[in-house]
């Protein structure tokens, strides 16, 4: 299977496993749903024994709570059916690198490993800004693999940020903006489009 990865973090052995492509596509579908709901398009799934046990998308606009990121909602869904302990054998697939808050939460929840799409240069907690996944702490470290469907994850964000925000105090007219669909080939870490706080 042709597996699009552009991040340098993905080792060939990890990228070769087709199941990662499948689960990341499911995370991207959640990102699409977030976009439809007017949320920052970040989606994720939690996978236990090759089965999706939790779906998440950003919920900050609906909830008016800036901390309701996709990861928290997916975990809350898992806990409706399973005890917290299964997270120790559960992997997260998320379209954008977890932010600092979620990176710490995933550690406290003892996630087994994290697979993400595009990096988060502004808030990333697993290498983007801080590296909480590997920093020593009272909770164990977890491995992180990035770059799965990197361009698709970025396109979701670009489609969100090209929209006009009617609720902004001073809406910026974006009528003349065109959706940028170009990616620089061979660039292992293209600049992430403006990722707002709702990641």
Q: Which residues bind other proteins (CB under 8 A)?
A: 33, 37-38, 55-57, 59, 62-68, 72-73, 75-77, 79-85, 99-102, 104-105, 108-110, 122-123, 125, 129-130, 132, 135-139, 197-198
To other proteins, the closest distance from the beta carbon of 99 in angstroms equals 7
Residue 113 or 151: which CB sits closer to other proteins?
Answer: 113
Q: Is 194 part of the annotated catalytic residue set?
A: no
Q: Output the CA torsion sign for 34, 36, 41, 43.
A: positive
HSE, CB side, 13 Å, CA atoms: give it for residue 198: 21
Q: Are 137 and 109 a contacting pair, CB within 8 Å? A: no
HSE, CB side, 13 Å, CA atoms: give it for residue 190: 20
Could you say which of 32, 36, 39, 71 is catalytic?
A: 71
Q: Is 95 helix (H, G, I), strand (E, B) or coil?
A: strand
Residue 65 or 180: which CB sits closer to other proteins?
Answer: 65
Residue 72 or 148: which CB sits closer to other proteins?
Answer: 72
Which residues have a catalytic role annotated?
71
């Amino acid at each position: 299977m042709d597996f699009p990865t552009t991040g340098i973090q993905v080792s060939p052995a990890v990228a070769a496993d087709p199941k990662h492509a499948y689960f990341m596509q499911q995370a991207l579908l959640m990102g699409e749903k977030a976009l439809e709901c007017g949320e920052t398009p970040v989606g994720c799934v939690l996978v236990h024994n090759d089965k999706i046990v939790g779906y998440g998308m950003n919920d900050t606009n609906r909830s008016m709570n800036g901390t309701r990121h996709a990861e928290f909602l997916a975990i809350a869904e898992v806990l409706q059916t399973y005890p917290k302990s299964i997270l120790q054998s559960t992997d997260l697939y998320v379209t954008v690198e977890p932010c600092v808050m979620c990176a710490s939460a995933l550690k406290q929840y003892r996630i087994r490993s994290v697979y993400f799409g595009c990096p988060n240069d502004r808030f990333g907690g697993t290498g983007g800004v801080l590296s909480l996944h590997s920093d020593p702490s009272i909770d164990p470290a977890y491995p992180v693999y990035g770059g799965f469907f990197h361009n698709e994850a970025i396109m979701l964000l670009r489609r969100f940020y090209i929209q006009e925000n009617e609720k902004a105090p001073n809406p910026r007219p974006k009528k003349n903006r065109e959706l940028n669909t170009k990616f620089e080939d061979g660039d292992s870490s293209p600049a992430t489009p403006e990722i707002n706080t709702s990641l």
